[in-house]
Amino acid sequence: MKSFIFLLSLLTIGKFCFAQQSYTLSGTVKDKRGEALPGTGVYVSGYKMATVTDNDGKYTLPLKPGSYDILVQLIGYKALNKNVVISDNAVKLDLTLEESITQLAEVTIKPDPNRANYIEMFKGYFIGTTPNAEQCKLINPNVLIIDYDKEEHKLTVKTNEFLIIENRALGYRIKYLLNNFEYDSKTRIIYYEGFPYYEDLKGSVRRKKIWEQKRITAYLGSSQHFFKSIFNHHATEDGFIINKLITKENPDKPSDSVINANIKRLTKVQTGLTRPSTITIGDSLSYWIKKKNLPGGISILSRAPILQDTLVHVENQNIKSINFTDKLYVVYTREREDPAYANRIGLSIARPLDMPDYQISTISLQVVPVYFYENGSIYNPRSMIYSGYWAWEKIADSVPMDYLLPVNAEGKK
């Protein structure tokens, strides 16, 4: 069974170290004429930290040492993002916004009759299909710039303005500056990268308690939780089992050259292009087509636990890395699969018969090594491919990078 795979895309958001000292990021936001822009929103990507410029266009943000993506937005201007590194001093960052002018060509272009279908496809692959996703609303789909390549069967989406998603399941209003989204129907790989900002929705005390519990559930067992756990060397204590899924060549499948040569030979015989010859059962066309359809490799699960000391390498006090062969087979034992996931064909990862329906995900490396930070964020957006449970959970099940579990939250679960 083919797994539906999803490429993680946290674009270097929220990279920081956890020093106690905070330093001030400050500056002025102006337009290209040099005029101050009061009321401009200044956000820290992936977090719930933000401020607004004053009447002189000035802003300040207290930040701990680290690397941040700063997002800037004002109605009538193009959204802007800048990376800034805070080390051991205050940093001044002045920003210039460019007016957003609608071109005549954009107004007169013929509407795409398939746009509504592409938006629905995008929502399923970007926001998700989980129960939480059903309670998400895309507020401004009009900002989506959509292209579908019929020859490559690839859907690409981006935005020049913040895409706004209202998540009534977790109580977040997410503003997402989408740099790039791709869905390749040939490979069935989803990839996206961008800059999210999270705001809390307003709600009653009862509603906030519901949101808090759902946020706990969304975070626990997530890839963010996993990488934070292995950074701090307590993945086992947090309920993760790390195994290896080893792929070996299928001994029942001949080489592609042999298979293709026989299919070509037998096809010619059946169409009368060559002189008929005696064909044994082993030489039948259907036999070689079956061989061609066999998987090239056989996956074997090694249930010997992967030790964190051998998996995780320290780069410095703030950055660690992983590098491995084959696939990591990650089992989260403190939550069971959601029935909505179990009923979706093509998503589930095969498991041993004696293993309960724990949440299982696999990690395949695309770029090595993979660098990550204490808050669970990943450096390279194209470094890994997830399949299984983590591939199913997308934006609708995400929490900010500065999310902190309530005291004794895991114990209560």
Residues 241 and 208 occupy one common structural domain: no
Q: What is the CATH number of the domain that holds 52?
A: 2.60.40.1120
Residues 29 and 167 occupy one common structural domain: no
Residue 296 has pLDDT above 80, yes or no: no
Residues 260 and 371 occupy one common structural domain: no
Residues 140 and 54 occupy one common structural domain: no
Backbone angles phi, psi at 365, to 5 degrees: -85, 140
Looking at residues 95-107, what average pLDDT do you find? 67
Residue 408 has pLDDT above 60, yes or no: yes
Residues 245 and 384 occupy one common structural domain: yes
Residues 70 and 83 occupy one common structural domain: yes
Residue 286: what pLDDT? 82
CB 235 within 8 A of CB 306: no
Domain with 62 in it: 15-97
Which residues have a Cβ under 8 Å from the Cβ of 370 and sit 6 or more positions away? 321, 322, 323, 378, 379, 380, 383, 384
Q: What is the pLDDT of residues 319-375, one digit of tens each?
A: 899 999 999 999 999 999 999 998 776 777 889 999 999 999 999 999 999 998 888
Number of domains the chain contains = 4
Structure-block tokens of residue 184: 């390749």
Least confident interval from 118-132, 159-173, 276-290, 387-401? 276-290
Whether 2 is covered by a domain: the verdict is: no
Residue 279 has pLDDT above 60, yes or no: no
Residues 69 and 215 occupy one common structural domain: no
Residue 175 three-state SS:
strand
Q: How many contiguous H segments (helices) and E segments (strands) does the chain have?
A: 10, 24
Q: What is the pLDDT of residues 217-264, one digit of tens each?
A: 999 999 999 999 999 999 999 999 999 999 877 777 788 888 888 888
Residues 344 and 289 occupy one common structural domain: no
Residue of 169, 196, 191 whose CA lies nearest to 180: 191
Whether 3 is covered by a domain: the verdict is: no
Residue 269: what pLDDT? 62
Whether 342 is covered by a domain: the verdict is: yes
